[in-house]
Amino acid sequence: MNSPFAEEVKHFFMNLQDDICTAIQQKDGMAKFHEDAWAREGGGGGRTRVLQDGAIIDKGGVNWSAVYGELPKNIQKALNLSSDFFFASGVSIVMHPVNPHVPIIHMNIRYFETRKSKDSKEIQDAWFGGGIDLTPHYIVDEDAKWFHEQLKNVCDQHDGSYYSDHKKWADDYFFIKHRKETRGIGGIFFDRMKANSETSLIDLFNYVKGVGEAFAPIYTTLMSKNSSKPYGDQELEWQKIRRGRYVEFNLVYDKGTKFGLDTDGRIESILMSLPRMAGWPYDFQPEEGSKEADTLSKLVKGVNWV
Amino acid sequence: MNSPFAEEVKHFFMNLQDDICTAIQQKDGMAKFHEDAWAREGGGGGRTRVLQDGAIIDKGGVNWSAVYGELPKNIQKALNLSSDFFFASGVSIVMHPVNPHVPIIHMNIRYFETRKSKDSKEIQDAWFGGGIDLTPHYIVDEDAKWFHEQLKNVCDQHDGSYYSDHKKWADDYFFIKHRKETRGIGGIFFDRMKANSETSLIDLFNYVKGVGEAFAPIYTTLMSKNSSKPYGDQELEWQKIRRGRYVEFNLVYDKGTKFGLDTDGRIESILMSLPRMAGWPYDFQPEEGSKEADTLSKLVKGVNWV
């Protein structure tokens, strides 16, 4: 039996998946999400939903899962935990659009809870993590500013320090170290946020709810605004290169991906984040003064978009 | 100053790069290798040669390098060494062909040597590593058998146990754990082969020479045999998926790639192994009885091709 709080979080996440799928599908207007429900041997399961060949979305996934059971020893070690029983639930999203002028977006919100053993009722440890970040193939300053403003609005409703702290965390996390490039224009990222003397687990849940509910209005706005912009072969080639960088980040650095691969998770659910097509032409260097060079120059940490 | 033996190995590798590039270029008949020579701050450098948009090769790299200097602490630790000074040289090749009926091939041969300090003349530790393995998009039994026979011939000229030992090593190494698939049909792989009471460093060098010299005749034969076979959209889609698996292996598991990224190597030289285009359509399942399903069924360890 999961704790009543865990059940509440799980149901919120489940409904959020439904709402987001409905909003994206409606805005796309063409393709429909395909659902694969899966069960985990040790306990729990998930619903992977992927939309492909849409009018606006080339490949996009909205995954929900709620898993529980004995905490594997390697994860106890990796997370530095002494608990035997865990519950984890979350929603993960990645959208790869058709049109290179529409940005790639990623959202993840998650809750993790441990108990000393299966039979103990007391929660031993509990935390939230998550964030939203944007990866435009072409950075449009106005859109980047607007995107960060939306996130700041969400953050400010909960804690005046969240935006600047979690924006910096995103800059540091979504960094492709070997390229010395950020993955995109960042956003917010946070992990292992626990209750303390000033903030309850309910307060944190409310913040995470705010982040989750901000996703659909933010992304559908960016879809509408950019999906009719014209593009040609040059933009498609650049899109493939930026998607290649996305693959590099996810396979080399992303902790969620690594966790999934190491724990024998459902591969096609974990790797739904990878694009339908990506490319690595040798040593591509954008021409000086080009819009590709302009974007590259902005893929750095610490840009104050708001 | 490198040891005379190190200099000899380095020059053999350098000439081998020339010979292989000439053979591939001649067989391709259209594109030419582009060379980027680079220097390493701590000592040494390399020549990265990449051919793109060929008649037969879509993207292929033949890299040579010879680097030396102080052995970074993190590598001392990773390799469990107590030496302060190192020399390393090698040739690395990956070829991604245009036609899905031509297999992807990989070869690497390398020599590593340490000395207690820069000024000491005595070699402290020295070993060879390397191998050749094949990744057909479509496995043709006859070609797989022929490929393994060529490798067995090379091995048998040096040691009767090499082929079976190094074939098993390749099966274990080129394994995409999270997919439970081998990358291709394997080949031979070996690492840290040191001199012992029966085998001298010169013997090992002769084996590595044999492997290096076998590459061009093997691959140009496979190019000739398969590059005129007809293919369509179905084969190109499958090629993108198999290339995607290649990317997964290289970014998640390959030790050489990880070593390069961790030690701040030249990124475009390290990642020349990645294809010009790859894809991840969601949860692709080949039709029962199709040639794609047949190939998938053979991507397992322990197939006795010879």
What distance in Å separates the CA atoms of residue A51 and residue A68, rounded to the nearest whole number? 27
Tell me the pLDDT of chain A (306 aa) as tens digits: 788 999 999 999 999 999 999 999 999 999 999 999 999 988 999 999 999 999 999 999 999 999 999 988 888 888 888 888 999 999 999 999 999 999 999 999 999 999 888 888 888 999 999 999 999 999 999 999 999 999 999 999 999 999 999 999 999 999 999 999 999 999 999 999 999 999 999 999 999 999 999 999 999 999 999 999 999 999 999 999 999 999 999 999 999 999 888 877 899 999 999 999 999 999 999 999 999 999 999 999 999 999
Instruction: Note whether residue A302 is domain-resident.
Output: no
ipTM comes to 0.95
| CA dihedral sign, ordered A80, A82, A85, A86 | negative
pLDDT value of position B112:
95
Average of per-residue pLDDT values in chain B: 95
Instruction: Note whether residue A304 is domain-resident.
Output: no
Tokens (6 digits) for B208 = 């590595």
pLDDT value of position A218:
98
Instruction: Note whether residue A275 is domain-resident.
Output: yes
Determine which helix (DSSP H) or strand (DSSP E) holds A35, and give its type and residue range. Answer: strand A34-39
Instruction: Note whether residue B303 is domain-resident.
Output: no
Distance from CA of B276 to the nearest CA of A (A): 5
For the packed helices B201-226 and B4-28, what is the interaxial angle rounded to 10 degrees? 10
Residue in A271, A272, A281 closest to B52 by CB: A281
What distance in Å separates the CA atoms of residue B281 and residue B279, rounded to the nearest whole number? 6
Q: Would you tell me which residues 226-255 of chain A have a C-beta closer than 8 angstroms to some C-beta of chain B?
A: 240, 244, 247-248, 251-252
Cβ–Cβ of B271/A278 closer than 8 Å?
no
Catalytic residues of A: 106
Q: Domain count of chain A?
A: 1
Distance from CA of B141 to the nearest CA of A (A): 29
Torsion, Cα of B209, B210, B212, B218 (10° steps): 170
Q: Are A169 and A190 in contact (CB under 8 A)?
A: yes
Determine which helix (DSSP H) or strand (DSSP E) holds B129, and give its type and residue range. Answer: strand B123-135
| Best B33, B62, B95, B280 residue to mutate vs chain A (most A CBs within 10 Å) | B280
What's the pTM? Answer: 0.96
Instruction: Note whether residue A46 is domain-resident.
Output: yes
What distance in Å separates the CA atoms of residue A124 and residue A105, rounded to the nearest whole number? 34
Instruction: Please compute the mean of the pLDDT values over residues B180-204 and round it to a whole number.
Output: 97
* Tens digits of residue pLDDT in B13-26: 999 999 999 999 99
Instruction: Note whether residue A305 is domain-resident.
Output: no
A279 to chain B: closest CA residue: B277
Instruction: Note whether residue B44 is domain-resident.
Output: yes
Neighboring chain A residues of B259 at a CB cutoff of 8 Å: none
Instruction: Note whether residue B204 is domain-resident.
Output: yes
pLDDT value of position B74:
81
Confirm or reject contact between B37 and chain A (CB < 8 A). no
CATH number assigned to the domain comprising residue A207: 3.40.1500.10
pLDDT value of position B50:
98
What distance in Å separates the CA atoms of residue B295 and residue B281, rounded to the nearest whole number? 18
Burial of A128 (C-beta count, 10 Å sphere; 0-12/13-18/19+): buried
The domain in which residue B237 lies consists of 4-297
Cβ–Cβ of B252/A261 closer than 8 Å?
yes
